Amino acid sequence: MQDGRFGSALVTGNSSGLGLGLTRVLLEQGAHVYGMSRRGCPEAGVSGDERVDLGDFTATGAAMERLLQGVDSLDLVVLNAGLLGHMQRMQDAPMDELRLLMDVNTFANKVILDALLKHRVRVGQIIAISSGASVSGHAGWSGYSLSKAALNMMMQLYAHEFPEETAINAFAPGLVDTAMQDYLCDEADRESFPVLQRLKAARGTRDMPNPEDAARAILDVLPRLHQTTRGSFVDIRQL
C-alpha cells in the first residue's frame, strides 16, 4: 500500500452490492483486484475472478488455489460475501437456513483464510465485513446475527495465526443501500421487527450511501485500523 492506496486486493462477493462497489473503487485507484462470487464480477478490469458458490467448501478451496497461482502478496483482503436470510423469530428459523448462513457468512471465510496461510501469501490487511447486528441482538436478525457474531470471533482467533504485520479485523461498514435493503425496507415485517423502521427512514439519505460511496469511505478509514487491536470488531460509525 502506498499513499493510502492499495496496490492489490482480493474481494469476495464482488458481483453486486458493496463487493462490487469496493471492486470498482479499487480499480479506479489502480489496484489489481481479484474476486470470488457466485455470479461473477461484471467489471472487465478484474485481474482474476472466480465464479463459485462459497457454501461449497471444496469448490471454494479449488477457486482459491487457482486465484493464488503466482500471487505472493496482497495489500488487502475483504471477506465481503454473505447472505441475509429472513427476518424472523429464532423459534421460526429453519435449521437448514441457519446452517446455510453459517456456511456462507462464517465458515467459507475459514477456507479462504486457510488458503492464504497455506500458500504463505503476505497480506497487509484483512477485513471481514460484519454488522452492527453481530453485537446488538435485535429481534428478527436470527441467523444473520448468529453468523456475523461467529465471524467476529473467528477473526479474533485468526489474529493469533496471521503474522503480526497483518492488520486483521471484523468490520461493520454501516448502512449501505444494496439489494438487501429492498427486502429489509419493503418486504420484511416492520411491525413485528421495529428496528427495520430505522432502515426505512435512512434509505435515500446520507445515512445509507450507495455501494461506491460506502466503498470510498471504507477504504479511507482502513489505514486507521492498523492502530486498533488485531482481531477486534470495529464499527465505521465509531471511528
pLDDT tens digits along 48-71: 999 999 999 999 999 999 999 999
**Does pLDDT of 3 surpass 70?**
no
Please report the pLDDT score of residue 2 as a whole number.
Answer: 65
Other residues' Cβ atoms within 10 Å of the Cβ of residue 225: 20
Please report the pLDDT score of residue 210 as a whole number.
Answer: 97
Please give the average per-residue pLDDT across 143-161, as a whole number: 98
**Band (189; pLDDT cuts 50, 70, 90):** confident
Please give the average per-residue pLDDT across 172-192, as a whole number: 92
Compute and round to an integer the Cα radius of gyration of the chain.
17
**Residue 123, φ and ψ in degrees, nearest 5:** -120, 125
d(CA 59, CA 214): 30
Please give the average per-residue pLDDT across 189-205, as a whole number: 91
pTM: 0.96
